[in-house]
Amino acid sequence: MKKMYLAGVAVFAAFALFLCAASAEYAGSGNRAGFAFVWGSAEPGSERTFAMAGIQKVEIAYGSANVEFLETDGTEFVVREYLYKNHGSVETQMKVEGDTLSIVRENDFSTVFWFGFRNRGVDKVEILLPESYRGAVEVSTGSGNIGADADLVLHTFDASAGSGNIRCRNVEAEDIKLSAGSGNISLDRAEGHRDISTGSGNIRVLGGAGNTLVAAGSGNIALEGVEGKLEGTAGSGNIRAVFGAVTGDISVTTVSGDIKLELPEGSAFSYEGSSVSGIIRTDFDGALDWNKKGNQASGSYGNGGVRLYTKAASGNTTVSIK
């Protein structure tokens, strides 16, 4: 009995060590979902090239992969995949239809049961864009990151990550749309109409002109060098925005987070602010009309100009002129 007991303990311990060593991730693809235990090591996979001539749109969709954009001075798109060993029967579908290059790879999951074994980790994909390409790029990944150290100068850029981060150095496009479920979004510079949202991640944009629509469920929002119209909302996170110039209407609302806005000298705007249980502070308090409770204010700074609106339910609001 004692030997059987010790053998049972050994088996249990070995299984526990396996669970600890294995990477458990939530995997979802179509009607299949579960926790997958990952093993193997990444190795170079396929490299495909496609002529740029006639391509106006690049669509990229991976179930679970890190996607990195690089730049090439050639005239061909280059797709490099670094896959895990034993990556199963799922193949990446790459094709050109009309003016669109599509690159699609679904999740490889070996069973439809809730617990299963996935025979690869998170793959890595490098997309080399010709420097002269000015078309559209749409990219999505379920549980991977999206990154770009290259300068992206495009017509439109649309990126979404389910549980990964999005990080770009410099993006210039007429329309920039970025969304992340539980990951963060970070941009050193984004020039163009910007639509950025996260579920529980933070948003950080360090510069770039253009109208901005930004929303975070439970993350913080930090914007610098803002120029253009701004509409920002946050649930339980804070919003901080430093403006390079006030050239469009500004509307900022939070539920339980603080609002901090820094506007440059010479700005002109009408102001309306309110808070349920927070405090409002401005560098132009004397120019405002206040209610008796002191949590609602309205008035003007400078000679009219744009409209500035703030609303923080239970957070504090600070508007400064620097």
Q: How much is the pTM?
A: 0.84
* C-alpha triplet 289, 290, 291: angle, nearest 5°: 135
- 140 with 242, same domain? no
Give the number of domains in the chain.
2
**Helix, strand or coil, per DSSP, at residue 17:** helix
Same domain? 228 vs 152: no
Closest CA relative to residue 111, chosen from 20, 24, 27? 27
The confidence score (pLDDT) of residue 8 equals 56
Q: What is the DSSP letter of 209?
A: B
- Pull the structure tokens for residue 39: 């093993």
Co-location of 155 and 37 in the same domain: yes
10 Ramachandran zone, left/alpha/beta (phi>0; psi -120 to 50) = alpha
Which is it for strands 239-245 and 269-275: parallel, antiparallel or unpaired?
unpaired
> Are residues 215 and 147 part of one domain?
no
Instruction: Indicate the residue among 173, 195, 228 that finishes a domain.
Output: 173
Residue 196 domain-assigned (yes or no)? no
- For the purposes of burial, counting CB atoms within 10 Å of the CB of 132, is it exposed (0-12), middle (13-18) or buried (19 or more)? exposed
Could you give the angle at the alpha carbon of 145 between the alpha carbons of 98 and 256, nearest 5°?
115
C-alpha 112/C-alpha 275 separation (Å) is 49
Least Cα distance to 58 among 47, 69, 66 occurs for 69
- Average pLDDT over the chain, rounded to an integer: 86
Q: Is residue 150 part of a domain?
A: yes
Residues 55 and 156 in one domain: yes
pLDDT per residue over 217-245, tens digit each? 999 999 999 999 999 999 999 999 999 99
Render pLDDT for 183-212 as a digit per residue (tens, 0 to 9): 999 999 999 999 999 999 999 999 999 999
Verify that 167 and 282 share a domain, yes or no: no
Structural domain including 69 reads 28-173
